[in-house]
Amino acid sequence: MVLPKVFGRTTSSPSTTTRASSSASAADHSKPTGRTSPDPRPSSPASQRPTPSRSTSRPLSRSPEKKASAKHSKKSSLSLSPKKKDKPLDPNTHPLNLPPEQRARLSRLSARMDQEKQQTNGNGTADKPVQNGDGAPAPPPHKTPSTPPPSTEDAEAFKAAGNKYFKAGDYSKAIQEYTKAVEADPKSPTYKSNRAAAYMSAGKYIQALDDCREADELDPNNAKILLRMARIYTSLGRPKEALETFDRIDPPATQKDRQPAVTMNHHVSEAEEQIRNSTSGSMAIFALDQAEKGLGSSVTRPRKWALLRGEAYLKMGNVNALGDAQNIAMSLLRNNSADPEALVLRGRALYAQGENDKALQHFRQAISCDPDFKDAVKYLRMVQKLDRTKEEGNGYFKTGKYQQAVDTYTSALEIDPQNRGTNSKILQNRALCYTKLKEWQKAIEDCERALKLDPSYTKARKTKAKALGESGNWEEAVKELKAIAESNPEEPGIAKEVRNAELELKKSKRKDYYKILGVEKDADDGQIKKAYRKLAIIHHPDKNQGDEAAADRFKDIGEAYETLSDSEKRARYDSGEDLIDPSEQFGGGGFGGGMGGMGSQIDPEVLFQMFGGQMGGGGFGGGGMGGGGRRGGGGGFPGGFHFG
């Protein structure tokens, strides 16, 4: 209520009021006439002094006696006791001089008036003015007394309500009622254990575990609480802690109760064993799949299990498995970007995929998160060493130092035997070196090892096909190349390679003149002639009497020399054309008689060397070289000559 300003003097007792009135009367009578006189209307006993009106205010302010009286009245309290309740209200009377009942009534009336006033809330801060009828009334400036805390009887009622909702399957409301019971009696283990059961049924296993732990602290070794806590541990994927909790129960828990935790722990241990000692991760994946069947309905895979699964995928090493390992690492990093184990897991997956630069970045980041993390340091150094060794081998290969390249690649393979992706590439590189060294079988073996590590490695399959063909097995080479074309028709140049291999297969089905003479396909004329001379002397039939195959070998040697010594015939032969016309077989004319009808056009100089330079008359009859004396003299071999 907004009250008017204090008009004048107030008294704290009747005696003070009487003295103030006497002083005022004396002062008024001492003033000249013609001034405003006191209001003649009757007033209440409390107002024995002049009415504080406009006409009397000035004389009062000028009177020393009145000033003293006013000063005295300000020091007194505003407690005027009414003498009669039924006297009419004087409108000119100061409100503080009204009877208490009147003041209270006026206060109530003024609260309803449409007046702007400063309201305060319970925090002691001012609220905005609220117009009458435009909003709810302001709250009282003091706090309402708090309700008394619930009693033990209330807690039991809340528990009973929670049990009712729990049986009905309304776990949310059951949790609410059990929470009220816990608040009513925080020291009761029963209420917390019941709420843990509701949390567990609602799939909130972390909250359930917290309640069970608190209940266990309030009531240690309570079998019911321990059994519930062990089941929660199992549902969270923590079988070892579950088994430790089961061991605390007395009398011991039944085998049926323990079995889920025992089974889960067995599968996790089996996965760890497979990862430590097996070269394949598939069995570890299977074991983890079985373990995860025991998790709660809404429980995510434990972090430890996720890391084990990622490790198993790395052991599997194929493209899909490496992608799965990366997905697991990224999921862990979304929860914690500074997880060093997840960083190393992703780095290893990248390393297995051949992205060594990105892998090194992840290893360095893991070390920055945990400088003492040994795995990060280990893989960082290993990848760096492997990169250096591999590049060294590549350098030897580019400069034609193939044997040194082979030795360096062999050293690189020993750095990390478990890395399937990188090792498959190193084996392919070493196989190329073996092809340059014409060690075809070793090249084939390296390609097969590379394909075992990475069956999709097309480059290794092509190198293997080349080595197979060069080793003489063009049929297998064609099969290998056709398989590549079928599985990967977009492979650059594969169609041309298939055609070339088929041509080589066709050529391989006729006599290999290069092989007959024992020379390389890039041998020059001098090498071909030298090989021919040597073989013609060794395999001449007259020097191999009793060997029925000697004549055939000698014939093949002659054919090979005749073809390869002629540049045009050699070009046709190399291109795969059929050089032998069935109507022009060797055998007619040439050396008749003593040479058994062989028609090979043997170099006369070779024959001269074969027979020691004694070319006389006679000897071969009926042939192109019959009769005559020495070479150029028209004669043949001297009479009576025979091979010794």
Closest by CA to 425, choosing from 399, 449, 397, is 449
Instruction: List the domain boundaries for the chain.
Output: 152-271, 513-579
Give the range with max mean pLDDT: 142-146, 151-155, 436-440.
436-440
Q: In DSSP terms, which residues pair with 120 in a beta bridge?
A: 126
Q: What pLDDT does 71 receive?
A: 45
The answer to whether the CB of 503 falls within 8 A of the CB of 578 is no
- How high is the mean pLDDT of the chain? 77
pLDDT bucket at 554, cuts 50 / 70 / 90: confident
Q: What is the mean pLDDT of residues 416-428?
A: 90
Q: What is the mean pLDDT of residues 132-143?
A: 56
Which structure tokens are listed for 546?
Answer: 């009793």
pLDDT bucket at 135, cuts 50 / 70 / 90: low
- Integer CA distances (angstroms), 35 to 54, 55, 58, in order: 12, 8, 10
CA angle 282, 284, 287 (to 5 degrees): 115
Give the largest CA-CA distance in the chain: 198
CA angle 145, 150, 152 (to 5 degrees): 155
Q: What is the mean pLDDT of residues 581-594?
A: 42
Confidence check: pLDDT of 363 > 50 = yes
Return phi, psi of residue 296, to 5°. -65, 160
CATH of 152-271, one of 1.10.150.240, 1.10.10.10, 3.20.20.80, 1.25.40.10: 1.25.40.10
Bigger pLDDT: 628 or 106?
A: 106
Distance of CA 332 to the CA centre of its chain: 6
How many Cβ atoms are within 10 Å of 340's Cβ, its own excluded?
21
Confidence check: pLDDT of 524 > 70 = yes
Confidence check: pLDDT of 567 > 70 = yes
Q: Which residues contact 229 (CB under 8 A, 6 or more apart)?
A: 196, 209, 212, 213, 216, 245
The answer to whether the CB of 44 falls within 8 A of the CB of 93 is yes
Confidence check: pLDDT of 578 > 70 = no
Q: Measured between alpha carbons, how far is 320 from 314 in angstroms, rounded to an integer?
A: 10
Q: Tell me the three state secondary structure of residue 399.
A: coil
Closest by CA to 231, choosing from 191, 259, 207, is 259
Q: What pLDDT does 199 receive?
A: 97
Q: What is the mean pLDDT of residues 270-280?
A: 90
Q: Measured between alpha carbons, how far is 217 from 252 in angstroms, rounded to an integer?
A: 20
Span of 114-128, 160-174, 280-294, 437-451 with lowest mean pLDDT: 114-128
The answer to whether the CB of 121 falls within 8 A of the CB of 127 is yes
- Look up residue 352 and give its amino acid: A
Q: Measured between alpha carbons, how far is 235 from 264 in angstroms, rounded to an integer?
A: 10
pLDDT bucket at 317, cuts 50 / 70 / 90: confident
pLDDT bucket at 139, cuts 50 / 70 / 90: low
Q: Measured between alpha carbons, how far is 25 from 170 in angstroms, rounded to an integer?
A: 85
Q: Measured between alpha carbons, how far is 2 from 110 in angstroms, rounded to an integer?
A: 8
The span from the first CA to the last CA of the chain, in angstroms, equals 154
Which structure tokens are listed for 248?
Answer: 């605390």
Radius of gyration of the chain (CA): 58
Q: Measured between alpha carbons, how far is 290 from 265 in angstroms, rounded to an integer?
A: 10
Q: Measured between alpha carbons, how far is 597 from 451 in angstroms, rounded to an integer?
A: 54
The answer to whether the CB of 240 falls within 8 A of the CB of 265 is yes
The DSSP call for residue 628 is B
The length of the chain is 644
- Integer CA distances (angstroms), 11 to 24, 245, 424, 608, in order: 13, 81, 111, 167
Q: Measured between alpha carbons, how far is 279 from 628 in angstroms, rounded to an integer?
A: 81
Q: What pLDDT does 102 receive?
A: 76
Q: Which residues contact 377 (CB under 8 A, 6 or more apart)?
A: 363, 367
Q: What pLDDT does 112 receive?
A: 60
pLDDT digits (tens, 9 = 90+) for 210-244: 999 999 999 998 999 999 999 999 999 999 999 99
Burial class (CB in 10 A: 0-12, 13-18, 19+), 313: buried
Q: Is the peptide bond before 251 cis (omega within 30 degrees of 0)?
A: yes
State the residue for tokens 């043949």: 636
pLDDT bucket at 298, cuts 50 / 70 / 90: confident
pLDDT digits (tens, 9 = 90+) for 477-489: 999 999 999 988 8
pLDDT digits (tens, 9 = 90+) for 284-295: 999 999 999 999
pLDDT bucket at 361, cuts 50 / 70 / 90: very high
Closest by CA to 491, choosing from 516, 457, 517, 523, is 457
pLDDT digits (tens, 9 = 90+) for 6-65: 444 444 444 444 343 443 333 343 333 333 333 333 333 344 444 444 444 444 444 444
pLDDT bucket at 145, cuts 50 / 70 / 90: low
Which structure tokens are listed for 608?
Answer: 């001269």
Q: Measured between alpha carbons, how far is 237 from 240 in angstroms, rounded to an integer?
A: 9
The answer to whether the CB of 429 falls within 8 A of the CB of 456 is no
pLDDT digits (tens, 9 = 90+) for 500-519: 888 888 887 878 888 888 89
Q: What pLDDT does 14 receive?
A: 40
At the topology level of CATH, where does 513-579 sit?
Helix Hairpins (1.10.287)
